[in-house]
Amino acid sequence: MSTKPLAIIAGAGTGTGVSIAHRFSRAYNVIILSRSSASIDPVISAVEASGGAAYGIPTDVSSEASVTAAFKAIKAKYPGSPTAAAVFNAGSWNRAPFLETALDDWERVLGIQGPVTRGAGSRGAFLFSKATIPLLLESKHLEYPPTLIFTGATASVKASANFTAFAAGKWATRALSQGLAKEFGPQGVHVSHAIIDGIIDVPGTKEWTFDDEDAKISPDAVSLVSPNIRDRRGELTVGHGKIADAYWHLHTQPRTTFTWELDVRPYVEKW
Amino acid sequence: MSTKPLAIIAGAGTGTGVSIAHRFSRAYNVIILSRSSASIDPVISAVEASGGAAYGIPTDVSSEASVTAAFKAIKAKYPGSPTAAAVFNAGSWNRAPFLETALDDWERVLGIQGPVTRGAGSRGAFLFSKATIPLLLESKHLEYPPTLIFTGATASVKASANFTAFAAGKWATRALSQGLAKEFGPQGVHVSHAIIDGIIDVPGTKEWTFDDEDAKISPDAVSLVSPNIRDRRGELTVGHGKIADAYWHLHTQPRTTFTWELDVRPYVEKW
Amino acid sequence: MSTKPLAIIAGAGTGTGVSIAHRFSRAYNVIILSRSSASIDPVISAVEASGGAAYGIPTDVSSEASVTAAFKAIKAKYPGSPTAAAVFNAGSWNRAPFLETALDDWERVLGIQGPVTRGAGSRGAFLFSKATIPLLLESKHLEYPPTLIFTGATASVKASANFTAFAAGKWATRALSQGLAKEFGPQGVHVSHAIIDGIIDVPGTKEWTFDDEDAKISPDAVSLVSPNIRDRRGELTVGHGKIADAYWHLHTQPRTTFTWELDVRPYVEKW
Amino acid sequence: MSTKPLAIIAGAGTGTGVSIAHRFSRAYNVIILSRSSASIDPVISAVEASGGAAYGIPTDVSSEASVTAAFKAIKAKYPGSPTAAAVFNAGSWNRAPFLETALDDWERVLGIQGPVTRGAGSRGAFLFSKATIPLLLESKHLEYPPTLIFTGATASVKASANFTAFAAGKWATRALSQGLAKEFGPQGVHVSHAIIDGIIDVPGTKEWTFDDEDAKISPDAVSLVSPNIRDRRGELTVGHGKIADAYWHLHTQPRTTFTWELDVRPYVEKW
């Protein structure tokens, strides 16, 4: 159905991205912008396995040309479809003593260079916002207010030693989300920022162990179709409220009740 | 059914309290602690009209004796029932130039004296926490993690001129919620704080008008049974995500994904 | 000289209080409000040893009657003297698991009961503000804008497990300081809040040892006259900028350049 | 005297920069990094008129090559001189509806392109930090701990509609300062961030008028030598504590008492 609304997700290569895609695909056609087919394909499989539709576009969200091409492809694929939601979930990462941080690292984390999975940072967030806000402004007639959500981290509110560049990119993105919330909220677009505080339970962190059960945030509800993303005890997690459910809750808030920011963390997290 | 879990709500006299009671009564027997029968009766009517059960206990939550008596009454009424959720929604209010603020006003707002609706403040929040946390700690076997939610306001994070005493009570309560979240989160109890930024659309604020539709937060989903709490356009609001839905979402978060704080405001709110 | 301006300091029993008294006594007659003669006498000795004048009044700043009596005594002692500065440095302290915190503890920390050194909290801060602001409003003709400074702590911005009650009192006091800054700043009174993050190097913490030199904040510049308050290496610290110097800097800021809040911590402090 | 310590100031073209240069020149040889001779010359004149020494190097602090060349020139000019203080005072500015903000604007504000006075942003802050921290680490034997201070703004903590890009650059710079404070504080380098909240009284804001006297922050103490920077009433401001005095106070704090952040604003500022 070509006029089913769209949910456009940048950075779907992580467990959180897969989970968000899965959750939003219950209501919308999902578009995945991610660097490589390798990260896109599992998302599409997961969504289709539960009866949804997803369409992936290899994209470097830190490249203006790549983003422009991606949104042209979306329009060609789904002409006339309104955009109900957009999620910026692309991440950058940097851990280094400051004096070993090169300008290239700084700019990569601030979003100037490099692939999505390494350097989406604030430039990617800027380009994604520029591309999606005009689409969201046209979608105020849908069931829920059009929504733009950014995935943040503890580093979005706290700069730690050896994570200075990483934090700078995260703080810039949080500022972006707050400025957009104030500018476009009164125009009916809901802009949110989620601070994910804790280790997300995805394959990349599997080697990190904890004494407590449930010590990591479980990002998703797709264990059945994507066994790598089960929680660490190997139990199924379908049906529980998770990060993706929090994002969906944000999306369904009416314009009388917009949340700009919430934090989520595992119950054992020290903070 | 005597072993159906309980939701205990302090300060149900406002539109937000009615709405929370109504939402939580879909799953739980609701206990209302409020100062007078006049504020309790409409809540019970609203809950019962939609098939739920509510039990009201006139209580001054700023009085240790009154709170003790209330929880004794709860135990007598529902022996053996676990407590699934507790919501502290009692409010204090004070607007005055500082030099016209008497010690009695300060203490009332900090929660030392006076009726629930005028002076629950941080003392009420303390007494309510002391009474409910032991009950919540025994409820970890239920479907959702046991939950304690506090209703905050913009004044919880910002002290304005002429609202100094009000802010002091709100900041103290927010500190309470954060300390409890850190102490009891690892024990499986979910403690949250919701910052309600904006004018809640209840009768007391009806005379405040705005240029925009939906300019006030609509607290509830019970317009059919409580016509005074319809939104200002007089339209029905049933089925929309509202403050009470946000509280319910918090309650349903699994322990892998606890939110301590979120803000909510109408889309037109300046911030 | 009876018309020399006054600096009124509450809670001068700690090293920080002694140091502030000493620093401000270079320009003003100092009034010390503290619970007992035992805490007042060393301050007076320290001030007088360096040529200043100090006058102590045993006061329970959490008691309205005691505060009223103290300010009546100040007026009798120094008729016609303007008040240049007031510092609220009285502290409360509480460390306890929440469920072991009695209402009395809560109220003591929020400032309702008990002696100054144990329970000044927010009630003391309120009473001290009410007593000093009218005096400060009459002192705008002095060399520096009249100033009211509150001593805060890390707990003023962060509530930790087992410090919930302590944090509640500190957050309330910080709210008080912010509301007062906004209300009385435009009237020419400078209200500030200093967040002291770290262990202050006073006798009570002498048994706490650290690997690093200078690991504790040195509160003062009075080592010569008060050997107990030398820094832990036993070296003299006269002439260095310290907490008291920061307070003095705040006091000397012109009304074009008011600081509401600053943090101070030892260089080795983790934060 | 070639081994007199150095104070290196980036962005000295504004009133604040001139004032800081003037203040620090009482103790140090001052180096000015600014885009053009036009902005450098008045600083040098002001410093020399009061008996100090200043050396200007036209620099684009957002260019790695330009910054490298500047520090090579400093070393050639003052071989063997330790660096006592570094101040990053270069500013970027952008006010535009988000959808009219081009990627070039975003990157300029984040610090990627353009002249110092328009686009130093976070890239300039990064490059300046990389260049100065190694010098500061070698200066721990001086009278005061070596110090790196960043000039922030209200936009450093609050992103407003139409100032989104500006805020993103400011938040990134504040994150940088916090990460550096945590990493290099324990190594003895004092890193601070000053939030300047209000309109600074420099020629560029002369046309903004206010009802209150002293409504703008007066940045300096050099009215006698730089008449353009008198306060708006045309009165002399020499001798008052000003922004530069706050920076100097930060610099003189001993390592037992480091302030990371303070805010300054005129007494009439609404906040």
| ipTM (interface pTM) | 0.86
Tokens matching residue A3? 């006029």
Could you give the count of Cα atoms lying within 13 Å of C4 in the half-sphere of its Cβ? 16
- Is D178 in the A-facing interface, judged by CB distances under 8 Å? yes
The predicted pLDDT at position C206 comes to 41
Query: From CA A54, how far away is CA A32, in angstroms rounded?
Result: 7
> A229, A220 in Cβ contact below 8 A?
yes
Query: From CA C146, how far away is CA C132, in angstroms rounded?
Result: 10
What mean pLDDT value characterizes chain A? 81
Chains that touch A (3 or more CB pairs under 8 A): B, D
Opening angle at CA D41, ends D38 and D47, nearest 5: 150
B159, C172: Cβ pair inside 8 Å?
no
DSSP for residue D200: B
More confident residue, B72 or C202: B72
The predicted pLDDT at position D240 comes to 33
The predicted model gives C36-47 an average pLDDT of 88
Domain ranges of chain C: 6-264
Helices (H), chain D: 15-24, 37-49, 64-77, 103-110, 116-119, 121-137, 164-184, 243-252
A175, D171: Cβ pair inside 8 Å?
yes
* Per-residue pLDDT reduced to its tens digit, A120-143: 468 889 999 999 999 999 998 999
Burial class of residue D172, CB neighbours in 10 A (0-12, 13-18, 19+): buried
- Encoded amino acid at B46, one letter: A
- Is C266 in the D-facing interface, judged by CB distances under 8 Å? yes
The predicted pLDDT at position A210 comes to 44
> A165, A106 in Cβ contact below 8 A?
yes
Contact list, A270 vs chain B (CB under 8 Å): 182
Query: From CA C214, how far away is CA D254, in angstroms rounded?
Result: 9
* Nearest CB to B168 within list C99, C130, C172: C172
> C124, C115 in Cβ contact below 8 A?
no
Contact list, C156 vs chain B (CB under 8 Å): none
pLDDT at C114 over 70: no
> C229, C18 in Cβ contact below 8 A?
yes
pLDDT at D50 over 50: yes
pLDDT at A227 over 60: no
Chains that touch C (3 or more CB pairs under 8 A): B, D
The predicted model gives B174-186 an average pLDDT of 95
* Per-residue pLDDT reduced to its tens digit, A13-72: 667 888 899 999 999 999 999 988 888 998 898 899 889 999 999 998 888 999 999 999
Lowest mean pLDDT of A89-103, C102-116, D106-120, name the range: D106-120
Q: Angle, nearest 10°, between helix axes A243-252 and A15-24?
A: 40
B266, A245: Cβ pair inside 8 Å?
no
* Per-residue pLDDT reduced to its tens digit, B48-67: 988 999 999 999 888 899 99
Helices (H), chain C: 15-24, 37-49, 64-77, 103-110, 116-119, 121-137, 164-184, 243-252
* Per-residue pLDDT reduced to its tens digit, D98-127: 888 887 777 766 654 333 333 346 888 999
SS3 (DSSP) at B57:
strand
Query: Confidence band (pLDDT; 50, 70, 90) for A102?
Result: confident
- Is A214 in the B-facing interface, judged by CB distances under 8 Å? yes
Q: How far is CA B43 from the centre of its chain?
A: 13
- Is D96 in the A-facing interface, judged by CB distances under 8 Å? no
Most C CBs within 10 A among B136, B154, B164, B170, hence the mutation to make, goes to B164
DSSP for residue A29: E
CATH topology of domain D6-264: Rossmann fold (3.40.50)
* Per-residue pLDDT reduced to its tens digit, C166-206: 888 899 999 999 999 999 999 999 999 999 887 655 444 44
Query: From CA B262, how far away is CA D164, in angstroms rounded?
Result: 22
The predicted model gives D157-173 an average pLDDT of 89
The predicted model gives B210-222 an average pLDDT of 50
Q: Alpha carbon of B147 to those of B8, B182, B189, C134: distances in Å?
A: 10, 13, 6, 45
How many pairs of residues across C and D have Cβ atoms under 8 Å apart?
125
pTM: 0.89
Contact list, A183 vs chain B (CB under 8 Å): none
The predicted pLDDT at position A180 comes to 95
Lowest mean pLDDT of A156-165, C87-96, D18-27, D167-176, name the range: C87-96
Q: Angle, nearest 10°, between helix axes B103-110 and B164-184?
A: 30
Distance from CA of B172 to the nearest CA of A (A): 19
Contact list, A218 vs chain B (CB under 8 Å): 254, 256-257
The predicted pLDDT at position C190 comes to 98
What mean pLDDT value characterizes chain D? 80
Element (H, E) at A147: strand A147-153
The predicted model gives C101-118 an average pLDDT of 58
> B114, B8 in Cβ contact below 8 A?
no
The predicted model gives C93-120 an average pLDDT of 63
